[in-house]
Structure 1
């Protein structure tokens, strides 16, 4: 057999065989192997194993990791993080030698001073961004998103991915989770079971994802659930409603309500609001449809009777035949009998069109799959195509986790940001996906994770346990759509909003229901007997009055930034059905605590619906934020709240008249359309927005009879918010011109001769004192705040620079006295260059942060 040539691989094999018996010879062979191939990674790892010095081991591991990223190598390097690397003797000749240092005689000290000056310039130039530009970031942590990106509901899936990526961008920009950036692994299951199973197995095999967001459909989620259960990987579905998904797994959660909750709410709505003791059910023959049908039959059975139970087959031809049969059957029913549709968008559109074309005018109640903006847009397009406006969108009532007109302040800000980024309003699936990723990251943040591959299984258990600990309102997570906590079977405990069409969009129906949490059994019995609370299955619901609210600003003026007060003149109107207690509101951020609506300008009640219009003009107050002064933006609000009724009894939402307007119109005066609402000098009104929010205490405050008092007393508020931004350029010109002149004069002290040190030092000290006086004058308009505002950082930067100039002047004098002229000249040159470089760095920092 011919003799093999000596290659890096053969030499490494020889070394491996000798590692135990003759480690010295093995090291020599490895040195020879690396001489053959310096980038042969196994030789570096074997050498790291044989050397006895930690510095040499660190050097070898660094080289191995640079050639090939390996988790075992990474862990070994991490254990030696504090050890400086040193090359082993066996490869010393392979390391590039350092270039010779040959400074001219007498220039060594000059070079040293120049280097020190340059280092000082660099140090102070990056001082402003050092605290946020650190690179101490841990290894990335992954989460998976699985949805039908190319499936039957690709639009909803794309909204989910957008919402998740948008939130992760924010999280990673803030440093990630415990210093670990979060990466998203996106998988397309095409809304098919086979593909979903393959992807679930791949996620388990790759062993990267800390938790899974998905799957989007009940069929796919149900197929993947046992795979995640066996692998002990937590999963959160943002949109699959079938009860069996979470009932059969303690590792699967749902970031919205399930079909069981949805059926309870829709059953109560049909019986108590639509006033019907009978209903028909049309359902698709898939997991979502069957689950929706079964849970509705159980829930509605407590209030009345289901007169028809009609299936819709899958597949285009079968579906068309099923739709025709269902329409024929429903055409013989009572014209006022509600029809529940437990179907997806495609079947829903065909059913609504067919029913209305056949003359069936009965109320149509739909599950959350039919509450999307795309479904409503499809109906409107069909109406336009057939020339019958309102024929399809009338008398519709859909359950949904998110009504756009009743978004809270946080959710409204998120929805606006989503629209700015992606050019359209988010579907409700985007909000529930945002909740899924948010609660998952919360579990990672608070679960005490190790964030390494070795402990990944234990980390997943901690994530799952943290999610399961969110079990009631007091142990909830403040998510996008309200406090998020899970029922015993893993579904988010949240109310189902009912939306109806106003012809242009889905808006909140005038009457809603919310989950009632009784304080005592006695109080519960009394509320049920009086009809205030409705029992359905193992749940209690209370009626909530929805008030369509609008605010039209006329003028804002007299902003006092020190006191945080301002004068606002505006119209406000309320539209509601039922008790006039909905109009008993107060302005909780008014300077006068007793400010109320007063007498209405208009008061009209027709067909049980009341419209009241008021005009209010008074002073209000808000907590202003000055951290970015003078680049600050202030949000000035008008905040109204019911005096006596809690959020479980009345909710204020945005009226369709506001939703129909272009947001730019909000900036025009309601009293004079040609005028701008802003009358505050040196400020510009940039935007106006409206939103609702819920506020209150976690305690009943002694009122044990209040609705929902078990979880404290909470009130619905409605806010109109004007955002003002300071007109910065005139402000800067007026207030920074003296500072610019002072900067220019101080720069001259660097050109004085060393003998004139007294004058130069005097100029530097004077600059420091003058800057302090200027800063005090500029910030005198601010209230007493405990933090440093942006402008102060700029002034402090110059004070530091002036102090450095004084120090440099003294050093130059010392060098001149000791006859070190070359060093003095180098220092003066470095200072003259470093001065403008430092100023430029400060300006750039401000430009990056506030530009």
Structure 2
């Protein structure tokens, strides 16, 4: 331990003066210096510099520990803490110069006669109770805070918070903060809280480079989420590469970002993948061997043009490659020139837009007002709800209702009507918290955060400053190791794994406008991963596979699915079954295999849809309506019984077609309804769906999900395959809760009476101990009978349900009452009347406090 040669500035006190004199003579006369410091502390025992200098001058470790403890108690200085830690554990004793300042030892009270009377007989019991309470409270705080006591794990978000992409960047930040709150509430990452550091690069490359250099200098973050656009990500990539800091962009699609750095990853598809999908969609779904592309003069636009032209050459020719400028003085002229050129193309030639929102709005407006009705395919920047809102606003402002939204096909990583159950729950929570539905950028940002935090939960990460470089390398290697679907991370939008160049291997969803919002187009493409070379050759020969370079795609039928619940009743908690009655409709383009479905959780394994109530095909679109009424089964969870929430679901799945061939998406009719309307009966709108006595229907939701196996499933021709078999499912899920108040009144009233009767046992005289003992034993037996009666309606479960803990708590209380009665009698027999009265009074106070505490715990947990 080393100190500066002067003490801190302060008032001219005697303690300060004496300490300064000690500092001046400490080399020439250490004994006098110690004596001066003792006098200084006698003047002011809380003068921390004097304790520190005295610790320097003493020669005994025990005395040095004592001085440092005193100094640290006054001022929690890190240097003092380190010096004290270096001395280790051991005895402490005051130096001779300050021995009179130490507190004297307490006298031995073993031989002191206790005074008679009742005035302080309760003190030992109250003191013991206070000690127990403090220990329990301290333990509770330790358990509550111990899991988050480590150094924070810092993650950076870098995006254009004030740039052109401010809206999408705000959604990214909100999504990340929502997820860090959830992670930290659950204890953080291996006990380390997660802290988000937000940087604004304003979508400017120069500013992005400066922020990247700042992140390197600060050396705080474990990894970076960002940057938001391709120009800024490309500018920052070499800096992160050199500093060996992993980065994951949630929205920048230029291929050069990840191609040029093995430390940069992408939590969505890149331009290479997007261009393959858009080219195949234009050629094979829209049926054109010619296309045109309009691209912006930025990195994303140029990369989009380059990759689309390369992809479309597989099917035909790109008739026009038209750049447009983002510079205000040139933008309008370049847009007009592009529109004039597009008007000369043959009717129906698809037009691909690789531009940002504002230019996309102007190009589509001028194309449609010029009479160009060709289909418009857009990249991810034009696939958000925010862009669709701009189109609707422009239609209304210029009197173009229904003119701008038809014929649009936009590529996106997230179609709102095809969200899985977890993704739908996340979207609802985002909307509840922030008042609006999340853009797709929020989902891909959450994936970028979640995959990094998930990988850091593995053993071996130090998660402190001393291991930061090693941890970053380990994280980069773990990200690079996610190379196939079998080893993928189950992220919000599906399995997340990376191509060789670090871009997420995921399909591009094509959305089209229904006039109010973007919805999934009736025909989709998805990534085809064959089980074997023979299967690939067969499917290619049969026209089921589209090959672009080394990528294989297949056509996927999208079935718009809707469910209108009529009623839910006959809930049997013992076998987990219930009766559901609902209307089901399917809308699709293509053959009728889409309606060949089964209900995988039906009690009857052969439950089928039967004959449709309506069956209409117009303009190639089939609409079929069915009514389903039967018993279904779910896995009930009773850990919170009787405050439990049960999920009643009906899940359908195609009998023969995999998720590569058919996917069930939520119909727009369902998306346009309010969630409260889901609980109104489709057969009788005047009543709700809940017809189950003693239960309340809280919410209903409808979503698609994918299930299956990534293994070869025993196929000898599929050795080494990573695709397996997956099926698309569609689920209707109703959340019900017990009508708790009537249940508690009926089942807990006898227990409440027992509690009152048992409390009376504490007021008997010690000589009448037989009665309270008998009352306590009877209460224990009666409680066991009541508990068995309450839980008899549950199936046999291996865990303890919430209500059981309350009964166990009272059994313990009744047992304590028996013990107290016996102890009171024993104290009375040996004439220790004061102790007996203290015990009785403490028990009479502690009993209701204990009961109230149990009630408060239940209220805090389940109210």
TM range (shorter): over 0.9
**Structure 2 partner of 1:376:** 388
Structure 2: segments with no counterpart, 5+ residues:
10-15
2:678 to 666, 680, 692: 666
Deviations 1:80-115 (A, max 9, x none): 99x589576489679784898999846787522221
User: Which residue is equivalent to 1:488?
Assistant: 500
Cα distance in 1 for partners of 2:320, 2:594 equals 39
Check 1:281–1:37 CA distance in 2 against 1; reply closer, same or farther (3 A cut): farther
Number of aligned residues: 846
Q: Which shifted more, 201-210 or 425-434?
A: 201-210
SS in 2 for 1:722: strand
Question: Which protein, 1 or 2, shows the higher relative CO under an 8 Å CA cutoff with sep ≥ 6?
Answer: 1
CA contact 2:66–2:94 (8 Å) conserved in 1: no
Residue 684 of structure 2: SS of its match in structure 1? Answer: coil
Q: 1:274 aligns to what? A: 286
Rounded to whole Å, the distance in 1 between the matches of 2:306 and 2:270 is 13
- Paired residue for 2:354, among 342, 352, 361? 342
Residue 589 (1) aligns with residue 601 (2): yes
Contact 1:271 1:303 (8 Å CA) reproduced: yes
Partners of 1:373 and 1:579 in 2: CA distance: 31
Q: Equivalent of 2:623, from 608, 611, 635?
A: 611
CA distance in 2, matches of 1:673, 1:707: 54
Q: Which residue of 2 aligns with 1:765?
A: 777
Aligned residue in 1 for 2:443: 431
- The answer to whether the aligner puts 1:784 opposite 2:796 as a matched pair is yes
8 Å contact kept, 2:523–2:555 = yes
Contact 1:45 1:64 in 2 (8 A): no
Distance in 2, matches of 1:601 and 1:794, equals: 52
Aligned position for 1:180: 192
Paired position in structure 2 for 1:567: 579
Partner of 1:60: 68
Matching residue of 1:235: 247
Contact kept in structure 2, 1:121 and 1:838, CA below 8 Å: no
Aligned counterpart in structure 1 of residue 164 of structure 2, from 142, 152, 171: 152
Q: Which moved more, 1:156-165 or 1:793-802?
A: 793-802
Q: Equivalences for 1:161-172 in 2 at 5 Å?
A: 161-172=173-184
Aligned match of 1:333: 345
Is 1:61–1:76's contact at 8 Å kept on the other side of the alignment? no
**Take 2:67 and 2:199, find their aligned partners in 1: how far apart are those partners?**
39
The question of whether the paired residues in 2 share the 8 Å contact of 1:550 and 1:658 is answered with: yes
Deviation at 1:137, TM superposition (A): 2.6
Q: Which residue of 2 aligns with 1:713?
A: 725
- Shift of residue 78, structure 1, vs aligned partner: 7.9
- Go from structure 1 to structure 2 and tell me whether the alpha carbon gap of 1:825 and 1:410 turns closer, same or farther (over 3 Å shift): same
Point out the more displaced range, 46-55 or 602-611.
46-55
Distance 1:491 1:76 in 2: 50
- Answer with 807-816 or 11-20: which moved more: 11-20
**What's the CA shift string for 1:368-392, capped at 9, x where partnerless?**
0111111001101111222322211
Q: Deviations over 1:479-502 (max 9, x none)?
A: 111111111111111111000001
When residues 831 and 440 of structure 1 are mapped into structure 2, their CA distance, relative to the original with a 3 A threshold, is same
Superposition map of 1:452-601 within 5 A? 452-601=464-613
Q: 2:12 — aligned with what?
A: none
Secondary structure at the counterpart of residue 711 of structure 1: coil
Structure 1 window deviating more from structure 2 (814-823 vs 351-360): it is 814-823
- Structure 2 CA distance for aligned equivalents of residues 560 and 512 of structure 1: 41
Secondary structure of residue in 2 paired with 1:446: coil
> Are positions 1:449 and 2:432 aligned together?
no
- Cα distance, 1:520 vs structure 2: 2.0
Structure 2 residue 697 is matched with structure 1 residue 685 = yes
| Alignment equivalent of 2:649, drawn from 637, 642, 652 | 637
Q: Could you say which residue in structure 2 is the equivalent of 1:832?
A: 844
Shift of 1:765: 1.6
Q: Secondary structure at the match of 2:623?
A: strand
CA 1:792–1:537: 2 relative to 1, 3 Å: same
The answer on 1:392 being equivalent to 2:400 is no
Comparing 227-236 with 618-627, greater Cα deviation is found at 227-236
Q: 1:808 Cα shift?
A: 2.2
Q: Is the 8 A contact 2:296 2:355 kept in 1?
A: yes
Provide the residue aligned with 1:356 in structure 2: 368
Which stretch shifts more, 445-454 or 327-336? Answer: 445-454
Please say if residues 532 and 718 of structure 2, whose CA atoms lie closer than 8 Å, have aligned partners that are also in contact. Answer: no
User: In 1, Cα distance between the equivalents of 2:626 and 2:693?
Assistant: 28
How many Å apart are 1:547 and its aligned residue? 0.5
Instruction: Give the match's secondary structure for 1:492.
Output: coil
Written as runs of structure 1 = structure 2, the 5 A alignment for 1:203-352 is 203-352=215-364
Return the alpha-carbon distance in structure 1 between the equivalents of residues 720 and 396 of structure 2. 45
Looking at structure 2, the residues matched to 246 and 41 of structure 1 have their Cα atoms a distance apart, in angstroms, of 56
- Which structure's CA Rg is the greater one? 2
Within 2, Cα distance between the matches of 1:727 and 1:699? 44
- Once residues 425 and 200 of structure 2 are traced to their aligned partners in structure 1, the CA distance between those partners, rounded to angstroms, is 29
Distance 2:46 2:504 in 1: 57
1:182 and 1:466 map into 2 onto residues whose CA distance is 19
> How much does 1:712 deviate?
1.2
8 A contact 1:15–1:25 mirrored in 2: yes
- Once residues 719 and 510 of structure 2 are traced to their aligned partners in structure 1, the CA distance between those partners, rounded to angstroms, is 21
Structure 2 vs 1, CA of residues 157 and 58 (structure 1 numbering), >3 Å: closer, same or farther?
farther
3-state SS of 2:559 partner: strand
Q: For residue 13 of structure 2, what is the aligned residue in structure 1? A: none
C-alpha distance in 1 between matches for 2:261 and 2:269 = 16
Residues 115-174 of structure 1: per-residue CA shift (max 9 Å, x gap):
123445666799999865656732222111111111111111111111111111111111
Pair 1:573–1:382, CA change in 2 (3 A): same
Residues in 2 aligned to 1:49 and 1:198: alpha-carbon distance in whole angstroms:
50
Q: Is the 8 A contact 2:696 2:737 kept in 1?
A: yes
Per-residue deviation, residues 41-95 of structure 1 (Å, max 9, x unmatched): 898599589887489659838965984675x8878888899x5895764896797
- Give the match's secondary structure for 1:397: strand
- Deviation at 1:409? 0.9
* Inter-partner Cα distance in structure 2 for 1:447 and 1:335: 60
**1:797 maps to 2:797:** no
Judged with a 3 Å threshold, the aligned counterparts in structure 2 of structure 1 residues 130 and 597 are, in CA distance, closer, same or farther, namely farther
Q: 1:603 to 1:154 in 2, by over 3 A?
A: same
Q: State how far apart, in whole Å, the 1-side matches of 2:70 and 2:212 are.
A: 36
Give yes or no for contact 2:699–2:736 (8 Å, CA) kept in 1: yes
User: What is residue 696 of structure 1 aligned with on the other side?
Assistant: 708
Q: Please report the TM-score for the alignment, with normalisation by the length of structure 1.
A: 0.92
Deviations 1:227-277 (A, max 9, x none): 111111111111111111111111111111111111111111111001111
Write the distance in 2 (CA, Å) between the matches of 1:94 and 1:345. 79
Aligned match of 2:735: 723
CA spacing shift, 1:398–1:826, aligned 2, 3 Å: same
Residue-by-residue CA offset, 1:153-200 (whole Å, 9 max, x unaligned): 111111111111111111111111111111111111111122212221
Cα drift, residue 17 of structure 1: 12
Contact 1:118 1:830 in 2 (8 A): no
CA RMSD of the aligned region, Å? 3.3
| Separation (CA, whole Å) in 2 of partners of 1:540 and 1:112 | 80
CA 1:52–1:127 in structure 2 vs 1: closer, same or farther (change >3 Å)? closer
Q: Map 1:621-660; keep pairs closer than 5 Å.
A: 621-660=633-672
CA distances 1:427-471 after superposition (whole Å, capped 9, x unpaired): 000000110110010121115211221111111111111111111
Q: Deviations over 1:803-841 (max 9, x none)?
A: 222222222222222222222222222222211111121
Question: After alignment, is 54-63 or 507-516 more displaced?
Answer: 54-63
Structure 2 distance, partners of 1:357, 1:69, is: 72
